[in-house]
Structure formats: structure tokens, C-alpha cells
Amino acid sequence: MQEAHQIIQQTRQWIQNVVIDCNFCPFAAREMERNSVYFELAASSAAADILLQFFTLMEKMEEDSRIETAFLLLPEGWDDFLLYLDLVEKAEKLIEEQDFEGIFQVASFHPNYQFDGCPIDDPANFTNRSPYPMLHILREESVEKALEFYPGDPEEIPERNVRFAREKGLAYMKSLYLKAR
């Protein structure tokens, strides 16, 4: 397995090259500049262990308000996108079961991300493709606050991102993605 530092650095590079530079998330730059983004590697590739680590990470965020958002990186054992989606569903259920609903939400990013109904080579898939499978934990209150100051209609962000990726094309989106690998 690659060293943790390298995996985190590649993820940071992806956030800069894709998420920030393409403005897929108009709030990411601020948090990266504030150094309020926390990165952690999964200690195991077993789903039960990952979910426990995910829960522990939410508790850590609850205790430490300096952590605005967190990435639990899954560099081993989660290449299968459909199995990963099952893990995301379990993480969402865990949020609900542990009374974190309304406090945290999970966003999903994966190297083989494919939107339902989209062909595998659709550039739109690259809006959610990342160097490693990951569970991204967001504070709901912070998302809501950021959306209050967003100049456009926040509901249009996903459609805008898809439009941008398709206008840029597959080669461009792949090149950004590969820069982080």
C-alpha cells in the first residue's frame, strides 16, 4: 500500500485540480485555505471496521469544531463501485441510527464513479471521480450557511458541474483526474 502521506497529497491535489479549479464545490477553496479539512485513511478494508471508523470520525468532528469537513480515504479493497455504493448506503444509515441526521451528511467520490443512466465514458462522471474511494463527511449546518451566501441557485450546482464537464470533454476531465494520481 502507498504511504498515507502520498495518498493524502494526491487527494489534496485532486481537490485543487478538480473540485476547486473547476468550481465543482464553490465552498471547498475556503476550507482548504483555512486548513479545516481533515484527512484520514481507513485502517482496514472491512466494511464493519470502516463504518466504525466513520462513526468515530463524526464524533471527532462533533468534539472539534475546527474540523469543518473530513475525508475518510479507502485506498484498499473498494475498487468495485457497486460494493462501494452499498458502503455509502450503510454510512448514511449509520448517520441516521446514531442521531447524526441533520448534523452530518456523507458525499461519495470514487475512481469509477458512474451516474445512474450515464455511459461509463460520460465526462459528467468525473464530477464525482476521485483518486481513491472515499466517504466525505460534511457538516449540514455549514453547508446550509454557505448556501445562504451562494450568489446563484444552489440547486443548479450539480447541473452546472455536469454541463461544465461535458463542455470540456472526456480528454480534459481525464487529464485533470490523472494529474492527481
Q: Which pLDDT value is given to residue 27?
A: 87
Please tell me whether residue 52 adopts helix, strand or coil conformation: helix
Q: What secondary structure letter does DSSP report for 73? A: E
Assess whether pLDDT exceeds 80 at residue 9: yes
Do residues 36 and 137 make contact, with C-beta atoms less than 8 angstroms apart?
A: no
Percent with pLDDT over 90 in the chain: 86
2-6, 24-28, 30-34 — most confident range: 30-34
Q: pTM higher than 0.85, yes or no? A: yes
Assess whether pLDDT exceeds 90 at residue 44: yes
Nine-digit cell at 120?
461509463
Count Cα atoms within 13 angstroms, Cβ side, for 135: 30
Please tell me whether residue 128 adopts helix, strand or coil conformation: coil
Give the whole-angstrom CA distance, residue 42 versus residue 51: 10
**Between vectors from CA 12 to CA 22 and to CA 179, what angle results, nearest 5°?**
65
Strand partners, 115: none
Amino acid at 72: L
Do residues 20 and 94 make contact, with C-beta atoms less than 8 angstroms apart?
A: no
Strand partners, 104: 101, 139
Mean of the per-residue pLDDT values of the chain: 94
Amino acid at 19: V
